[in-house]
Amino acid sequence: MDEHHLWATILADLELQVSEVVFRTLISQTSLESLDDGKAVISCNNPMLINIIEKRYHDLIKTTLRNYTKKDVSLVFNARKNKHLNHIDGPLFTMKLPDNFSPPSTGLKLNRDYNFENFAVSSSNQMAYAAATAVVNNLGHAYNPLVLYGGVGVGKTHLMQAVGHAVGQKNIKTKILYCTGEEFTNEIIEAISTKTTVTFKKKYRLVDLLLIDDVQFIAGKYSIQEEFFHTFNAVYQAKKQIIITSDKPPEEINKLEDRLRSRFECGLTIDIGNPDFELRTAIVLIKAKQKGYELSMESAKTIAANIENTRKLEGTLTRVISESQTKNLPVNNDLIKNILGKTLKKIPPSKKVLPEEILKAVAGFYNLKISQLKGDKRDKVYSFPRQILYYLLRTEAGVNLKDIGEFLGGRDHTTILHGIRKISNLLSTDNNLRGDVMGIKNELFV
Ligand code: ADP
Ligand code: MG
């Protein structure tokens, strides 16, 4: 296999292992420059992305490459300078905000801690993260509008503001405007009553990046929606970037006018899931580091195991640190228990799922016998759960295509590939399927 062909095969395999957005925005941008002496040089058309790819996908790419070359290969990530990208100055994610960083737009109120560096990525928010970084690199063109939705505390505001910081750092002249749906509403009401609607209109319509947080607030408020729609249209038609967050997916904001909804849907809508235990642990560690405090992994895990609400993580951590410092006590389970005022839950063991467990969970979920799931019958009642099984074996247990085929009694790997592709594509549009997959995963991870 020549290098070009090999890389195409590896990309096809990687496509199955990451979400569609990650693949489209990051992985698919790479090419294999050379492969010899146990060294693979991987480059990317967009030099800004290479750092992210290296940081987050090094191991995945390495393992996948090894599956095909059957050799241990070390990876070198190389930014290939593209003539038309020369204006981009260096990797975004190693840049730090200078201490005297002043927001690029007057009155821009972003929380300085809500940046990409302080954002932990895990399976529940990986797609949203990839889309947000793509927007930074291609303002107004990548995904417009980008709509992030998810429950309270999943990191919508943090991620949205991270885009604001990154865009501001790239170009200090970019006009950025951040406001919540509530502030937007209050400003309109104020503008109407003080007859300053022209100023209002100018302010919102002359931006390069419009960030509207918690848009669900304006649903049902007719005249506000009307103004929001005009603003939105003006910004959108000028090909300026819009990012919106909502605690409900657009199709569920009943009272948001149809035309608003259809505009939403022409961009990219991504849901952010609730952070799992591992992600909460990562968040506690990040917050501790921000406060200049060395927290042990054990304590971070204990806090994460006992607090589900991410918004409470930081407050708890602050109390733990101050209690330890004022009373000169070590941070340990006793101290944490005292602060939480309850018996501590145990740290969940880190669990690796086995193919057999996935097989059982899928069969159980769809009320099928294992033999039916493994069998050859092509009726949809069997074939669809079977394709979900392929998908979960690949994504949750990391089994490769060939081994999935063998595990299920000698199926051809192209059949498996087809099934996995189908499920990953459907997952972005089909809510029922998403619900099923989540239900099965819940069974696997309790
Ligand atoms: P939302 O807007 O979705 O309600 P926030 O963005 O306000 O959630 O996040 C709540 C808290 O949790 C914030 O302190 C935020 O920094 C933190 N947080 C949430 N997700 C992450 C993440 N992936 N990495 C780091 N911190 C996070
Ligand atoms: Mg928020």
Select the CATH number that applies to the domain covering 277-340 from these four: 1.10.8, 3.30.70, 1.10.3470, 1.10.287. 1.10.8
CA atoms within 13 A on the CB side of 82: 13
> Is the distance from the beta carbon of residue 310 to the nearest atom of ligand 1 less than 6 Å?
yes
End-to-end CA distance of the chain: 43
Binding residues for ATP: 153, 155-157
Q: Which residue has the tokens 């489209």?
A: 24
pTM of the model: 0.64
State which ligand 1 atom lies nearest to the alpha carbon of 111: 16
Mind listing the pLDDT tens digit of every residue in the chain (446 residues)?
Answer: 788 888 988 888 888 787 766 777 788 888 999 998 889 999 986 666 787 788 888 989 999 898 888 888 899 998 765 433 322 222 222 223 333 333 344 457 899 999 998 998 877 887 888 889 889 988 998 889 999 999 999 999 999 999 999 999 999 899 999 999 999 999 988 888 898 888 888 888 889 999 999 999 988 888 888 888 888 888 988 999 999 999 988 777 766 777 777 777 778 888 899 998 989 999 999 999 999 998 999 999 999 999 999 999 999 999 999 999 999 999 999 999 999 888 888 888 766 688 999 999 999 999 999 999 998 888 999 999 999 999 999 878 878 888 899 999 889 888 998 998 888 878 777 778 887 887 888 777 66
Per-residue pLDDT tens for 85-113?
A: 322 222 222 223 333 333 344 457 899 99
CA atoms within 13 A on the CB side of 18: 30
State which ligand 1 atom lies nearest to the alpha carbon of 129: 23
Q: How far is the CA of 152 from the centre of ligand 1 (A)?
A: 9
> Is the distance from the beta carbon of residue 154 to the nearest atom of ligand 1 less than 6 Å?
yes
| 220 conformational bin, left if phi > 0, alpha if psi -120 to 50, beta if neither | left
DSSP letters for 276-313 = -HHHHHHHHHHHHHHTT----HHHHHHHHHH---HHHH
C-alpha pair distances (Å), 196 with each of 181, 184, 191, 205, 234: 19, 14, 5, 14, 18
Distance CA 366, CA 359 (A): 11
CATH fold of 116-271: Rossmann fold (3.40.50)
Q: How far is the CA of 318 from the centre of ligand 1 (A)?
A: 16
> Is the distance from the beta carbon of residue 287 to the nearest atom of ligand 1 less than 6 Å?
no
Domain boundaries, the chain: 3-79, 116-271, 277-340, 355-445
Atom 16 in ligand 1: which residue has the minimum CA distance?
Answer: 158
Distance CA 15, CA 315 (A): 39
State which ligand 1 atom lies nearest to the alpha carbon of 161: 6
CATH class of 355-445: mainly alpha
Q: How far is the CA of 218 from the centre of ligand 2 (A)?
A: 15
> Is the distance from the beta carbon of residue 158 to the nearest atom of ligand 1 less than 6 Å?
yes
Superfamily of domain 3-79: DnaA, N-terminal domain (3.30.300.180)
> Is the distance from the beta carbon of residue 281 to the nearest atom of ligand 1 less than 6 Å?
no
> Is the distance from the beta carbon of residue 155 to the nearest atom of ligand 1 less than 6 Å?
yes
Q: How far is the CA of 158 from the centre of ligand 2 (A)?
A: 7
State which ligand 1 atom lies nearest to the alpha carbon of 272: 3
Which amino acid would we find at residue 441? K
* Residues whose CB is less than 8 angstroms from the CB of residue 422 and which lie 6 or more positions away in sequence, other chains included: 387
Atom 11 in ligand 1: which residue has the minimum CA distance?
Answer: 311
The backbone torsions φ and ψ at residue 116, rounded to the nearest 5 degrees and listed phi first, read: -65, -35
Helix (H, G, I), strand (E, B) or coil at 245: strand
Atom 6 in ligand 1: which residue has the minimum CA distance?
Answer: 155
* Element counts in the chain: helices (H) and strands (E): 19, 8
> Is the distance from the beta carbon of residue 160 to the nearest atom of ligand 1 less than 6 Å?
no
Q: How far is the CA of 346 from the centre of ligand 2 (A)?
A: 29
Q: How far is the CA of 315 from the centre of ligand 1 (A)?
A: 13
Q: Which residue has the tokens 């109120």?
A: 109
Helix axis angle for 3-17 and 47-69, nearest 10°, is 100
Q: What is the DSSP-derived secondary structure letter of residue 41?
A: E
Per-residue pLDDT tens for 126-174?
A: 788 888 988 998 899 888 999 999 999 999 999 999 999 999 999 989 9
Atom 10 in ligand 1: which residue has the minimum CA distance?
Answer: 153
